[in-house]
Homo-oligomer: A and B are copies of this chain.
């Protein structure tokens, strides 16, 4: 069979950002020119579950706008990871390196199939020089991040195991899957990295919540049965 070069795998998805209906709030009020500059310097990429998107300490060359799917954002360590946040549609990764460090502060991995736009940091820096609206959106986004991390810090430092796990489950139901019934895309180990406890304790506590009918647990399928009991525990 003669060799036919497959052009499609060499061609980046270069849909014009101007016509994208799925823009991050940061990009909502960019001018046509600015969006054109972004179009020239972005690629849309798909990641499969478990693929690494950002590596902590690596050069912060791009930012990533999640269009579809979930990612775990975490601090890496030789012995143990700490998951800071599960990010979904609309989450922008990499802004925390802007005007601060050449490296990423954390790692990010797809926990299900993900579609995102990778945008060159250079063009972001360029737009920051000219568009105040963009800067203010970045500030707003960073402050949202700070609030989330402070909440996490508070949770881990002030709450016991059951409160931390209850809070994580409510976060899945309310913010991530937006339903009282969901299928966890992550392992018990990941849950332990979110709640900062031993995996065995995640297992034991999930079992306990199940026995007390706070949740209905079937492997990775979880249904919240007693929302207010979990809410109470998380205090």
Residues of A near any B CB (own CB < 8 A): 75, 77, 79-80, 82, 84, 96-101, 105-106, 128-130, 132, 135-140, 142-147, 149-150, 152-154, 156-158, 196
Task: Give chain B residues whose Cβ lies under 8 Å from the Cβ of A144.
Answer: 100
Task: Give chain B residues whose Cβ lies under 8 Å from the Cβ of A96.
Answer: 143, 146-147
Contact B84 A140 (CB under 8 A): no
Contact B77 A143 (CB under 8 A): no
Q: A200: shortest Cβ distance to chain B, in Å? A: 17
Task: Give chain B residues whose Cβ lies under 8 Å from the Cβ of A132.
Answer: 128-130, 132, 135
Nearest-CB residue, chain B, relative to A153 = B153
A100-B144 Cα distance, complex, nearest whole Å: 7
Total identical chains = 2
Q: A170: shortest Cβ distance to chain B, in Å? A: 19
Contact A158 B77 (CB under 8 A): yes
A98-B143 Cα distance, complex, nearest whole Å: 7
Nearest-CB residue, chain B, relative to A147 = B105
Given A136-B135, A149-B149, A157-B196, A143 and B99 contact (CB-CB distance below 8 Å):
yes
Task: Give chain B residues whose Cβ lies under 8 Å from the Cβ of A196.
Answer: 157
Nearest-CB residue, chain B, relative to A80 = B158
Task: Give chain B residues whose Cβ lies under 8 Å from the Cβ of A157.
Answer: 82, 156, 196
Contact A82 B153 (CB under 8 A): yes
Instruction: Please name 22 pairs of A and B residues whose Cβ atoms are closer than 8 Å in the assembled complex, sorted by A.
Output: A77-B154, A82-B157, A82-B158, A97-B143, A99-B136, A99-B143, A101-B143, A128-B132, A128-B135, A135-B135, A135-B136, A139-B142, A142-B143, A142-B146, A145-B146, A146-B149, A149-B149, A149-B150, A152-B153, A153-B153, A156-B156, A157-B196
A147-B84 Cα distance, complex, nearest whole Å: 13
Nearest-CB residue, chain B, relative to A98 = B139
Task: Give chain B residues whose Cβ lies under 8 Å from the Cβ of A129.
Answer: 132
Q: A85: shortest Cβ distance to chain B, in Å? A: 11
